[in-house]
Structure 1
């Protein structure tokens, strides 16, 4: 990469790459897909680096990631698979955090990409409804609806997550 042509890009990627990767994993639910998502978003942003660098480059990359994920999801829709019974609840043991994370990953998989994106933006990225709407290019009302429907779907898919999250010191309500 020509450092003179893209000043600051290397520093941006090395400084913000891990945070972008975490957000991408939450959007995709798969490490390999998350890596692809970040790499594709960064390559697209690189083409417009001068404009992105002068504004808010991280917001530019994140918006690109959310839009790419929506586009990829539309191309590869996979039918939902619902289990006859929810997975067994894990008791208090040293692995409760791991079990909680795996259960949350499965529960997030039942969300639509828009619901998942809104929940990641609102509760992981800690954006306001207005900021999330700007990132996704939709109305604040849509963000509220996706958040409401997504949380309801999570509660229906894994009602025990609320109890488990409170037990390990968090909460997602």
Structure 2
């Protein structure tokens, strides 16, 4: 594959999926600036591996895995242990969900423990199977199921009262 063909294929992939990948990054880390950094890191690593990944056809899964692992690495940094902000930034509404509902969902997601949040995002937002989620996070399937159950229960406890209010 020539360099220009490689660059064109990579640019096409990024243009088609950048907004979705950015939302996934935001769901993983809860901050738009960190999400942009996370996505940039993932896309840089994807570009390096592009010929191999493109040939295998696992581009999006590869990017998601990079984002999950990079977010884990970043969360281990001492300066990331503090969470000074109580409010999420304004979120533009895309689709049928209102801005208030999306904000409430993202706020509730960020209140979940980190591993539960990652499992809920991968399983229920991205629709990955239990096996795929376990592989991406490097945990066993039973742990995925328990984190998913606890995470969904916590989200329901927070969001259900708002729905019927």
Instruction: State the TM-score bracket (shorter-chain normalisation).
Output: 0.7 to 0.9
Give me the CA root mean square deviation. 2.6
For 1:18-33, what aligned pairs fall within 5 Å after superposition? 18-33=19-34
* Residue equivalent to 1:69: 71
Distance 1:165 1:129, change over 3 A: farther
Partners of 2:4 and 2:39 lie apart in 1 by 20
Q: Contact 1:66 / 1:136 at 8 angstroms: preserved in 2?
A: yes
Partners of 1:104 and 1:16 lie apart in 2 by 22
TM-score (norm 2): 0.78
* Residue equivalent to 1:59: 61
Task: Give 1 or 2 for the bigger CA radius of gyration.
Answer: 1
Partners of 1:166 and 1:140 lie apart in 2 by 34
Distance 1:19 1:165, change over 3 A: farther
For 1:127-166, what aligned pairs fall within 5 Å after superposition? 127-156=128-157, 158=158, 161-165=159-163
TM-score (norm 1): 0.75
**Secondary structure class of the residue paired with 1:138:** coil
> Which of the two has greater helix per residue?
2
User: Once the 2 structures are TM-superposed, how far is the Cα of residue 71 of structure 1 from its aligned partner?
Assistant: 1.5
For 1:1-173, what aligned pairs fall within 5 Å after superposition? 2-4=3-5, 6=7, 8-55=9-56, 56-75=58-77, 76-78=80-82, 97-156=98-157, 158=158, 161-165=159-163
Q: Contact 2:6 / 2:51 at 8 angstroms: preserved in 1?
A: no
Unaligned runs of 5+ in 2: 87-96
User: Once the 2 structures are TM-superposed, how far is the Cα of residue 72 of structure 1 from its aligned partner?
Assistant: 1.3
Aligned length: 150
Partners of 2:127 and 2:164 lie apart in 1 by 19
Q: Contact 1:70 / 1:113 at 8 angstroms: preserved in 2?
A: no
User: Once the 2 structures are TM-superposed, how far is the Cα of residue 25 of structure 1 from its aligned partner?
Assistant: 1.5
Partners of 1:137 and 1:19 lie apart in 2 by 23
Partners of 1:51 and 1:165 lie apart in 2 by 46
